[in-house]
C-alpha cells in the first residue's frame, strides 16, 4: 500500500502516522514546492514539484503516481483540494484513488456563503452571513444581527484577511479596499472542533472526535481537551452523511446557549488532528482499510475524555551545503 501526501509542508505528524499505518507493506511519498518543508523528510521518498498553479502540475503528480505505484493520494492544503477533486478521474485511470469529497462539495466548503445556504437548507444552525451590505444594514436596523461581526473573503483559508469590525465605518473601509467580501455574524460562544471520517465505501460516518478548544493560534487549535457530546455526534453524523462527504474532514462548531452551530467545514485533515490520533482515533488506518476494499466499522466516540493537547514549537535541522534552497 503506497500513499502520496501532497503539499506536506510542516505536517510532520500526518506523514509519521501514515508511515506507521503502512508499516512494511508499502511506502509513504511526499511532495512540496519547497525543499525547506520539514514534513517531506519524514517520508520514504520526496519529490520537489512546481506550485499547484504552474502549467503541467497535475501531469507531474500523475507521473509520480505511476512511477511510485501510488494507491491513494490526498493533499494537506486548501487550494489543492478542488484541483484534486476535479481531476479525480485522471488519478483513477492510473490506479490511484484520491481521498477527497466530490468537487461540488469541496467548492461549497470553500465558498462560505454557499456553505451558509447549504446549512440553512438542511435546517442546521449556523451564523448569519451576508454578501450585500444592504441586507446586513437592514438586519442591523431590525436588530436581527449586531456588532461586532467578521468581515472575511467569501473564499479563503487559514484565517487570512479576516477582520473583526464594530462599526459601519470600519465595514465600509474594508468593502472599499477589497472585493468578494462577506459579513459573518460573530459567534460569541464556546468553540469545538471535530475530526470526522466518512467511509469511502459505505458512505457511513464511522469516526467522530470532538475537542473543546481552549486556545487558538493563527487559525489553528493550540490547546484543546477531548470531550464527548452525544447531541453533537448526532448532528455531525446526519450532516456529513446527507451531504455525501468522503474521507477525513474537519468541522468547526460553536455552542451558544445550548445550541450547536456549524461554522466551517474543511474537507481535509485539520491542524488539530494529532489530538485525535493521540486519543486513539487512527484515521490513516481507516484510509488504508478503504483503499484495500475494506469497510470500516462505526466507532464514533470511542476515545477517552479529558485528554489535553498542548502544541509547542519544534525545529528540523538539515545540511543543505551545496544545495539550492527552494522556498
pLDDT level of residue 220 (50, 70, 90 thresholds):
confident
- Give residue 157's pLDDT: 59
DSSP E strands: which ranges in the chain? 2-6, 27-32, 45-48, 72-75, 97-98, 129-130, 149-153, 163-165, 181-185, 190-198, 205-217, 220-227, 247-256, 259-266, 308-310
Lowest mean pLDDT among 155-159, 264-268, 319-323: 155-159
Dihedral sign (CA 143, 141, 148, 122): positive
Give the closest residue to 260 by CA, choosing from 239, 242, 235, 230.
235
The model's pTM: 0.94
Q: Is 105 left (phi over 0), alpha (psi -120 to 50) or beta?
A: alpha
- Give residue 160's pLDDT: 63
For residue 29, pLDDT over 60 is answered with yes
Provide the pairing of β-strand 2-6 with 27-32. Answer: parallel
Q: What is the DSSP string of 207-221?
A: EEEEEEEEEEETTEE
Region 16-39: mean pLDDT is 97
For residue 158, pLDDT over 80 is answered with no
d(CA 91, CA 94): 5
Sole residue written with cell 505528524: 13
**Alpha-carbon dihedral of residues 249, 312, 256, 134, nearest 10 degrees?**
-70
More confident residue, 16 or 322: 16
pLDDT in tens, 108-135: 999 989 999 999 999 999 999 999 999 9
The set of residues, in sequence order, having a beta carbon less than 8 Å from that of 12 and lying 6+ positions away, is 38, 39, 42, 316
pLDDT in tens, 230-274: 999 999 999 999 999 999 999 999 999 999 999 999 999 999 999
In this structure, how many other beta carbons lie within 10 angstroms of the beta carbon of residue 95?
A: 11
Amino acid at each position: 500500500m503506497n500513499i502520496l501526501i501532497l503539499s506536506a509542508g510542516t505536517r510532520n505528524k500526518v506523514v509519521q502516522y501514515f508511515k506507521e499505518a503502512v508499516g512494511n507493506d508499502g511506502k509513504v511519498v511526499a511532495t512540496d514546492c519547497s525543499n525547506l518543508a520539514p514534513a517531506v523528510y519524514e517520508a520514504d521518498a520526496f519529490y520537489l514539484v512546481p506550485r499547484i498553479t504552474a502549467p503541467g502540475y497535475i501531469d507531474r503528480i500523475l507521473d509520480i503516481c505511476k512511477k511510485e505505484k501510488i494507491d491513494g493520494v490526498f493533499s494537506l492544503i486548501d487550494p489543492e483540494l478542488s484541483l484534486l477533486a476535479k481531476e479525480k478521474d485522471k488519478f483513477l485511470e492510473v490506479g490511484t484513488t484520491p481521498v477527497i469529497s466530490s468537487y461540488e462539495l469541496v467548492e461549497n466548503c470553500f465558498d462560505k456563503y454557499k456553505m451558509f445556504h447549504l446549512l440553512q437548507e438542511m435546517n442546521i444552525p449556523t451564523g448569519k452571513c451576508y454578501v450585500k451590505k444592504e441586507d446586513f444594514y437592514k438586519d442591523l436596523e431590525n436588530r436581527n444581527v449586531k456588532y461586532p461581526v467578521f468581515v472575511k473573503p467569501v473564499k479563503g483559508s487559514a484565517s487570512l484577511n479576516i477582520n473583526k469590525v464594530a462599526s459601519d465605518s470600519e465595514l465600509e473601509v474594508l468593502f472599499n479596499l477589497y472585493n468578494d467580501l462577506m459579513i459573518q455574524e460573530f459567534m460569541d460562544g464556546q468553540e469545538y472542533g471535530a475530526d470526522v471520517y466518512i467511509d469511502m465505501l459505505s458512505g457511513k460516518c464511522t469516526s467522530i472526535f470532538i475537542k473543546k478548544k481552549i486556545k487558538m493560534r493563527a487559525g489553528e487549535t493550540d490547546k484543546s481537551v477531548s470531550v464527548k457530546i452525544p447531541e453533537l455526534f448526532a448532528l455531525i453524523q446526519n450532516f456529513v452523511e446527507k451531504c455525501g462527504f468522503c474521507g477525513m474532514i474537519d468541522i468547526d462548531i460553536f455552542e451558544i446557549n445550548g445550541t450547536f452551530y456549524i461554522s466551517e467545514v474543511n474537507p481535509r485533515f485539520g491542524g488539530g488532528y494529532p489530538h485525535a490520533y493521540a486519543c486513539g482515533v487512527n484515521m490513516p488506518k481507516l484510509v488504508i482499510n478503504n483503499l484495500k476494499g475494506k469497510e470500516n466499522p462505526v466507532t464514533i466516540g470511542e476515545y477517552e475524555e479529558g485528554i489535553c493537547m498542548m502544541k509547542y514549537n519544534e525545529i528540523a535541522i538539515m545540511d543543505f551545503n551545496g544545495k539550492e534552497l527552494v522556498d
